[in-house]
Structure 1
Amino acid sequence: MIYEFSGHQPLTPVDPEVTKRLQRLHELGLGEQPVPEFDEFARRIGEVTRAPYAMVNFIREDRQYFAGLHVADAPAGAGSTAQPGRVMSRDHGYCPHVVVRRKALVLDDVCDYPRFAGNPVVDEIGIRSYLGAPLIDRTGTALGTICVVDVEPRPWGRAGLETIKSLAADLVDQINSLQR
């Protein structure tokens, strides 16, 4: 686990619902392989928000799995040449915060927030802004998130927040229609 230097607090929140989430993901058959429909959904999110990276992310106890992933052409001004893959440690990124909080998270510039500026994705991938919303299914389980990130600060604003929440609701409807 990665810790904040001041006060030695974990940067990634404790997740009390991980067992319930893993059971539900197993029932739905999600979170272990790419899903072409989720890749398409991630592409749509990226286009709507004009963000270079977009993901449909399912959170496990120790890692995150991007069942939907869209990576646009290498963004100009990228602080790093690294690209996100399908799997990321739970200690990397901001989606685990969204799942535990069960609320959308808007970070126009992650460097404006000491708790988030020290996240490894800032240095490893060059992430500077984040916009994400939880995927809470009909059982009340927070399965994961949809999110977009950029290598430049972005004023997502209220419009960005409403957009990501609406898109998350659309994907939850799609997930709820799975007959599993």
Structure 2
Amino acid sequence: MTAQYNEAERLDALTRLRLLDTSPSETFDRITRTASKLFELPIAAVSLTDSDRQWFKSRIGVQHDSIPRDKAPCAEVAETASVVVVPDLMEDPRYSTSPLAEQGIRFYAGAPLITRDGHGLGALCVLGVKPRAVLDSELTALKDMAEMVMAQIELQHAFGRIDPVSGLPNRLQFFEDLMDLARDHNNTQHIAVLVDLARDEQISSGTRVMGAGYIDDIVRASARLVREALGSNRTAYHVGATQFAFLAPPDVDPSEYQTRLQDFLDRIAKGSTGSFLKTASIGLAPFRPGETEPLAILRMAHSAALEARGSLNAVRKYSPEEDQVHVRRFA
């Protein structure tokens, strides 16, 4: 596998996996313990390289859950997507003044965690307080265990909750996260936002002329633009063929937020070559967790997005009165 280093894309791949700041897992701890025993070293970790830190999904012999990224060997592993061995940190000009060396660490070996797209997420690493050489058989085993870690990451990522085309959490995850809000007894008003990229006839025509791959390309590009617009600390969901959903920041005014979402649509349209995004619409559904079922919240947002298509403004808030007109018509 050839690594293609691009920091923005690498961080995007890391964010999409939704691993950062999650709870410890016995599955990863088992691999970390095995690496520690294999090298007969007191310290081992599954280290993920964030923008400014190394965060440990699993750790043995380490008290803290992160260290600064600067002068961290695991950052080099992620950036190069290759094995890094430092027999003695004190003798290496790159790391002799690093925080690890200052804490008494002398030996480091790390094997990369690489996505299918070639992005280095971090490392499975082992560390010791004495200088040490490495056998070829040990490095082979460390690389094998790093691949086991990556396989587990991809398995957890894909297990029924991630859309394979967009790479975003799917509708099932959206519903579960809404239910979690209710379980947290969060009575604050929230706003569900649905971005509807295309009309049904657009999807049908595009598929008929260009094939299903054409729609997939639009979805991938749109998902990337939506993620970039929301930022790394907010979650977008892929809830329909060409539909994305997310929650507005808490305590925003719905009317004021509609204006911001118009700018959001313009930003996405300018950043895309897909004609669908020129006709996208957005629906807003205000709700209080626990008072409205998740399925109804999504339906309300979809109804508002459809109303937006028939108006001059491409962003509309859910209207119970307009919705009832369509319910009676359907009945």
1:122 partnered with 2:101:
yes
> Match of 1:132, SS?
strand
Do the aligned partners of 1:18 and 1:60 also contact (CA within 8 Å) in 2?
A: no
Matched, 1:22 2:1: no
The reply on whether 1:56 has 2:34 as its aligned counterpart is: no
1:41 paired to 2:31: yes
Matched, 1:106 2:106: no
Report if aligned partners of 1:59, 1:65 keep a CA contact under 8 Å in 2.
yes
Q: Distance in 2 between matches of 1:97 and 1:22?
A: 14
Contact 2:28–2:46 (CA under 8 A) maintained in structure 1: yes
Once the two structures are TM-superposed, the CA of residue 144 in structure 1 deviates from its matched residue by 1.0
Structure with bigger gyration radius: 2
TM-score by length of 2: 0.44
Aligned residue for 1:89?
68
Change (3 A) 1:35 1:18: farther
Amino acid at match of 2:12: Q
Kept after mapping to 1: 8 A contact 2:77/2:120: no
Question: Once the two structures are superposed, what CA deviation does each residue of 1:134-165 show, in whole Å capped at 9, x if it has no partner?
Answer: 10011222111110000011111322222211
Inter-partner Cα distance in structure 2 for 1:147 and 1:64: 12
> What is the distance in 2 between the residues matched to 1:139 and 1:177?
16
1:161 is aligned to 2:139: yes
Larger % of helix: which? Answer: 2
Secondary structure at the aligned position of 1:177 is classed as helix
Identity %: 31
Distance 2:108 2:69 in 1: 16
| Runs of 4 or more consecutive aligned structure 1 residues displaced over 4 Å after TM superposition | none
**CA deviation profile, 1:60-113 (whole Å, cap 9, x unmatched):** 111110011111xxxxxxxxxxx5511111114210111112110111212222
**Structure 2 gaps, min length 5:** 163-331
CA distance change for structure 1 residues 25 and 115 in 2, over 3 Å: closer, same or farther?
Answer: closer
Instruction: Measure how far apart 1:127 and its partner are.
Output: 0.4
Letter in 2 for 1:87: S
Provide TM-score, normalisation by structure 1.
0.77
Q: CA deviation at 1:45?
A: 1.3
Partner residue of 1:12?
A: none
Unpaired stretches in structure 1, ≥5 consecutive residues: 1-15, 72-82
Aligned pair count?
153
Query: Whole-Å Cα distance in 2 between the matches of residues 146 and 53 of structure 1?
Result: 11
SS of 1:44's partner is helix
Q: Which has the higher contact order (CA 8 A, sep 6+)?
A: 1
Cα gap change, 1:32/1:21 in structure 2, threshold over 3 Å: closer, same or farther? farther
Specify the SS of the correspondent of 2:139. helix
For residue 151 of structure 2, give the secondary structure of its aligned residue in structure 1.
helix
**Which one is further off, 126-135 or 89-98?**
89-98
Q: Distance in 2 between matches of 1:84 and 1:128?
A: 18
Is the 1:40–1:68 contact (alpha carbons within 8 Å) kept by the matching residues of 2?
no
